[in-house]
Amino acid sequence: MYYVYVLKSLKDKELYIGFSDDLKERFKKHSKGDVNSTKERRPLELIYYESYKSEKDARTRETKLKQHRNSFKELKKRIDDSLKDNK
């Protein structure tokens, strides 16, 4: 399986979109600071993911979310409660 995921920084509340074929391991790397794009934004929370059988489909979705504001805007509407700071 291939995954497109959204992480939320608990430090600055910003979101990060990524792709992986091993979601658990990739999240561990983000959490340990082994990923340059998120290491200064830790701690991170996995708030959403989608799974795909096809790597091409997953990469296409990741690109669409990163490059097309409307796609990401619609996703943010769907996961609105996950974006809130519910403690």
**CATH number of the domain that 54 lies in?**
3.40.1440.10
Structural domain boundaries, residue 15: 2-83
Which helix (H) or strand (E) segment is 56 a member of? Answer: helix 55-67
Q: How many domains does the chain have?
A: 1
Q: Whose CA is closest to 63, among 18, 32, 30?
A: 18
Helix (H, G, I), strand (E, B) or coil at 18: strand
Q: In this predicted structure, what is the pLDDT of residue 87?
A: 52
Render pLDDT for 12-57 as a digit per residue (tens, 0 to 9). Answer: 989 999 999 999 999 999 999 999 999 999 999 999 999 999 999 9
Q: Report pLDDT for 84.
A: 81
